[in-house]
Structure 1
């Protein structure tokens, strides 16, 4: 079944540069989905007609409402399996209907479908590489990844990597001949009606946190690769030295119940607050003292940029594109992934030195404003669309 929600009005310049169809697996609450909800209206403002096509419903496709409110068309065509030819034809027909100048895909299923659509419709295609899986053994998953690499290498006109580190790793794992281009994410932090002190006081009162407590915050979908269990383990060490510290866990997911049980087993449940999904993430960051991302793997996590815009010092795993965002000792501290003692030590180093937190937080803000501004990155993306539509080959 196809559900179509068209925008109600068009800006005078919309479509003058062409039509981009943005294809994504779903519009749930993940980082890629939130970014698309930011980028589509910004792309439209630069002269492209933007249409979003989703293949699955995730978390009720919560980000779809933001797109509709911004006047962006959202079309849903259910794709239960990539090998379902009937459903695949419906998706390609949906992509064909607005006569796209370029197709831009996000996440794995959409990248496979978009690559096939590009070949069938003879329309240039771009994809953003949000994750990078490596085949292990010979099985259905490894075959799927082989097909994906084939499309990325031979069909896509540009494969956008979120950092130079991710681009280098992609080359090392079978994408040496793919048209890789580095283009970091950019965000537009929401404006708050209240100043930081007011927000801090209000949210801490709501969550039952004293104004004087040192708050460590993490934001993640609660699933194993995010490493939140390691952060909880590290907090036992932290609380032994800073007993008034609080850990704020923002997000939800399949691992939440297990993580809550872990806090009880460790005897730290009274110092950990699980908020579930929140729309006011930026204000929660501004109400905290330190941001921690203990992820075991990531590319260029958007939430790190949000924390930098909130002037927070960062403690994060040295994985993926994170070292391209956070310079150790300048915008934060980087630790080996999964290393609980190192994580605890880095957190303590920040919590016990207020002046250091302030200095590093300001450096993080300056870096975010310089390198991760939405306006700068969207302009680069629109220029890249112009290139692929004109048939310009990628730099070698």
Structure 2
């Protein structure tokens, strides 16, 4: 007897291409099409380098996509928020509550209505959301009155409130955490343990690996130059300004060092970071590449990769660095700390501690034996524990078992 395919609507309301997008695509390329019939629902047809849109990539792997166009914030909402800020200047909690209410009226509720209509029209069995609960409230509201299973894939450390936790517990049927650390955050915020399952992020450990030499040549990196690098969106959460500050300290302590720093990515902080590098007097040492479709080529070119983020889920870019045998230095935050055993598979420093980060930059620059030891142990760890097949099987198990339970009599 042929098993019936489960109809799934995958909701992604993000505005830009990130690590979560790549993880989602790796899943969609490999998921069992005999068991799962997936359609994507996006708000924005965002693009990565060279104008390649998410619609184009999804079409290339035969995944249909629906777009829900988004309108700009209406004037009344903007004015209402300004009035609330003026009258509730003494209460941050009050301002946040009013802002959330206003956003619900003009954005979240209308989107929930559209999503509900799509689910009902096409008879989807599962609403599978690719973000974090606080960013997917319209999905929960859309599904609540329907006989549809709700699965949340929490790809970053979630920002939660009591009201969000209550919605997840009331409407959700499963929450996939990309790391044990993310699951602990969910549980600490009151999400029911019965809903949570950890399926660690993973990568294709069998893919062909680049050498990095072509990138070094294209960037004009001279022989003997130590290449620090970072890859990711240039946004406040990634804290690239901390890396520049640490490089400034490193340069003051070792003016003889021959080094450059490559920032691969795009975002709102780009000009601010350029000014910071100029203020430190080493603008000529910092290379901004913009978004690139071949991040592995850059990782292979780096002598050391730095991830200074304020928060992470389970960063694929760290796994990729480990696979490529590039030393990783990361902030000691959820997700990153789960991958790096400091002193064995990489180096960790307290988030924001640029003095410690500068010291670690010095360590990896000076000590080739330390670099060799770190990369060998990191490589073994990623090969043994983070193959993409485990990730796909884990998500398939959750989607295969998901069913709506909120309307059952318990």
| TM-score of the superposed pair, with normalisation by structure 2 | 0.82
The reply to whether residue 83 of structure 1 matches residue 83 of structure 2 is no
Q: Which moved more, 1:381-390 or 1:31-40?
A: 381-390
Gap change, CA 1:133 and 1:155, over 3 Å in 2: same
Matched-pair contact (CA < 8 Å) for 1:215–1:245: yes
Q: Secondary structure at the match of 2:373?
A: helix
The reply to whether residue 130 of structure 1 matches residue 118 of structure 2 is no
Q: Deviations over 1:131-155 (max 9, x none)?
A: 44556xxxxxxxxx55432221121
Gap change, CA 1:229 and 1:160, over 3 Å in 2: same
- Residue 129 of structure 2: aligned partner: 105
- Residue 96 of structure 1: aligned partner: 120
Q: Deviations over 1:258-307 (max 9, x none)?
A: 10111111011121111111111011101111111011222222211221
Matched-pair contact (CA < 8 Å) for 1:44–1:50: no
The reply to whether residue 114 of structure 1 matches residue 139 of structure 2 is yes
- Residue 324 of structure 2: aligned partner: 310
Q: Secondary structure at the match of 2:222?
A: coil
The reply to whether residue 169 of structure 1 matches residue 185 of structure 2 is yes
Gap change, CA 1:131 and 1:148, over 3 Å in 2: farther
The reply to whether residue 238 of structure 1 matches residue 250 of structure 2 is yes
- 2:53 aligns with one of 35, 56, 62: 62
Gap change, CA 1:96 and 1:330, over 3 Å in 2: farther
Matched-pair contact (CA < 8 Å) for 1:27–1:54: no
Query: Aligned partners of 1:47, 1:212: CA distance in 2, in Å?
Result: 53
Query: Aligned partners of 2:397, 2:128: CA distance in 1, in Å?
Result: 14
Q: Which moved more, 1:22-31 or 1:214-223?
A: 22-31
The reply to whether residue 219 of structure 1 matches residue 241 of structure 2 is no
- Residue 380 of structure 2: aligned partner: 366
Cα deviation for residue 178 of structure 1 reads 6.5
Q: Deviations over 1:27-75 (max 9, x none)?
A: 6311212221221222245631121111234458833322111111111
- 1:209 aligns with one of 200, 215, 221: 221
Cα deviation for residue 171 of structure 1 reads 2.1
- Residue 252 of structure 1: aligned partner: 266
Query: Aligned partners of 2:66, 2:259: CA distance in 1, in Å?
Result: 46
- Residue 182 of structure 1: aligned partner: 198
- Residue 65 of structure 2: aligned partner: 74
Q: Secondary structure at the match of 2:261?
A: strand
- Residue 87 of structure 2: aligned partner: none
Q: Secondary structure at the match of 1:56?
A: coil
Matched-pair contact (CA < 8 Å) for 1:249–1:274: yes
Matched-pair contact (CA < 8 Å) for 2:148–2:404: no
- Residue 48 of structure 1: aligned partner: 36
The reply to whether residue 343 of structure 1 matches residue 357 of structure 2 is yes
Which sections of structure 2, spanning at least 5 residues, go unmatched? 72-102, 406-410
Query: Aligned partners of 2:293, 2:382: CA distance in 1, in Å?
Result: 21
Matched-pair contact (CA < 8 Å) for 1:217–1:285: yes
Q: Which moved more, 1:175-184 or 1:123-132?
A: 175-184
- Residue 31 of structure 1: aligned partner: 19
Count of residues in correspondence between the two structures: 365
Cα deviation for residue 212 of structure 1 reads 2.5
- 2:7 aligns with one of 16, 19, 24: 19
Matched-pair contact (CA < 8 Å) for 2:113–2:142: no
Gap change, CA 1:29 and 1:47, over 3 Å in 2: same
